[in-house]
């Protein structure tokens, strides 16, 4: 989508990976690994995605009781570990022990340090985590895309990265409110409003539908591309859906089946 047009935005280094993009959702856990107790968003899950050869890992950030950003999706530990406590209620040491036989805890700093050739798509899940996530990613901003359902939380993390001395801002994708307003702009065919809404983001990361509302449409993809914004769809695990979405023009697939999506993407390159 880049070209010689001088009015087009400069492409962020996060997008230097291969297109169409395969984003390994919470890392990658094979069926065999899952049978041995390995869980999503663990050190071994990120290592598993890296071993597949993906460029991108999609993950989530919460804060431990002692203020350390960790890769974890849920607000509490119940689904993944059986422990009913909130992530924010346990210390890093406690969480490290809980995750020891589940693939190992991985902090945000460890992920960025241990896998220097991976690019991370990070969803700031907890409001209290935004500032610390932003500060942590500052030295790695060229290979981080920040997102959150909350635009306010996303912007707070971006400001924190800048305040911590990031040489460039991380890439970023729109929150739910921005996506909703964009859908409204498309409904009334306001290209000007769409352009204003997309001016501050590098990507739209959306599901195909939210309830009865169809979010992903040819018009959304076309409009995003007109303003040099990529479209990534989550969470897509069936080959037929991957093929259909790539035919529609989406730029990235967020998937639990990264080993499958890589084969689909390779046929498009």
pLDDT-derived band at 2 (thresholds 50, 70, 90) equals very low
164 belongs to a structural domain? yes
pLDDT-derived band at 10 (thresholds 50, 70, 90) equals confident
Closest CA to 27 of 105, 124, 95: 105
206 belongs to a structural domain? no
Range of the domain at 135: 15-172
pLDDT-derived band at 145 (thresholds 50, 70, 90) equals very high
Structure tokens at 27: 């890392």
Question: Could you please report the per-residue DSSP string of 116-157?
Answer: TT-EEEEEE--GGGHHHHHHHHGGGGGGEEEE-S-HHHHHHH
220 belongs to a structural domain? no
150-186 pLDDT per residue, tens: 999 999 999 999 999 999 999 999 999 999 999 999 9
Number of domains in the chain: 1
Which pLDDT score is estimated for 19? Answer: 96
Q: Is the pTM value of this prediction over 0.85?
A: yes
234 belongs to a structural domain? no
Which pLDDT score is estimated for 197? Answer: 98
Mean pLDDT of the chain: 96
Which pLDDT score is estimated for 263? Answer: 98
48 belongs to a structural domain? yes
265 belongs to a structural domain? no
Phi, psi of 53 (to 5 degrees): 100, 20
208 belongs to a structural domain? no
Mean pLDDT score, 211-226? 96
25 belongs to a structural domain? yes
36-94 pLDDT per residue, tens: 999 999 999 999 999 999 999 999 999 999 999 999 999 999 999 999 999 999 999 99
- Residue 139: CATH number of its domain: 3.20.20.190
Q: Among all residues, which ones are annotated catalytic? A: 25, 73
Mean pLDDT score, 133-143? 98
Which pLDDT score is estimated for 8? Answer: 55
């Amino acid at each position: 989508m880049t070209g010689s047009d001088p009015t087009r935005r400069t492409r962020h280094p996060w997008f230097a990976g291969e297109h169409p993009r395969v984003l390994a959702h919470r890392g990658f856990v094979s069926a065999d690994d899952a049978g041995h107790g390995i869980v999503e968003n663990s050190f071994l899950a990120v290592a598993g995605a890296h071993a597949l050869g993906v460029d991108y890992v999609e993950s989530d950030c919460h804060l431990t009781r002692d203020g350390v950003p960790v890769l974890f999706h849920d607000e509490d530990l119940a689904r993944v570990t059986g422990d009913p406590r909130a992530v924010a209620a346990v210390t890093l040491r406690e969480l490290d022990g809980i995750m020891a036989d589940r693939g190992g805890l991985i902090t945000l700093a460890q992920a960025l340090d241990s896998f220097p050739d991976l690019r991370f798509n990070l969803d700031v899940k907890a409001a209290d985590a935004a500032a610390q996530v932003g500060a942590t990613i500052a030295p790695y901003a060229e290979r981080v895309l920040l997102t959150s359902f909350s635009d306010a939380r996303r912007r707070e993390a971006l400001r924190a990265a800048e305040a911590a001395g990031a040489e460039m801002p991380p890439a970023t994708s729109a929150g739910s409110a921005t996506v909703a307003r964009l859908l409204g702009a498309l409904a009334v065919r306001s290209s000007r409003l769409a352009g204003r809404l997309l001016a501050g983001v590098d990507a739209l990361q959306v599901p195909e539908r939210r309830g009865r509302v169809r979010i992903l449409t040819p018009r959304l993809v076309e409009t995003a591309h007109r303003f040099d914004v990529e479209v990534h769809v989550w969470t897509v695990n069936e080959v037929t859906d991957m093929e259909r979405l790539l035919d529609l023009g989406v730029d990235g697939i967020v998937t639990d089946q990264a080993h499958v999506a890589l084969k689909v993407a390779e046929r498009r390159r």
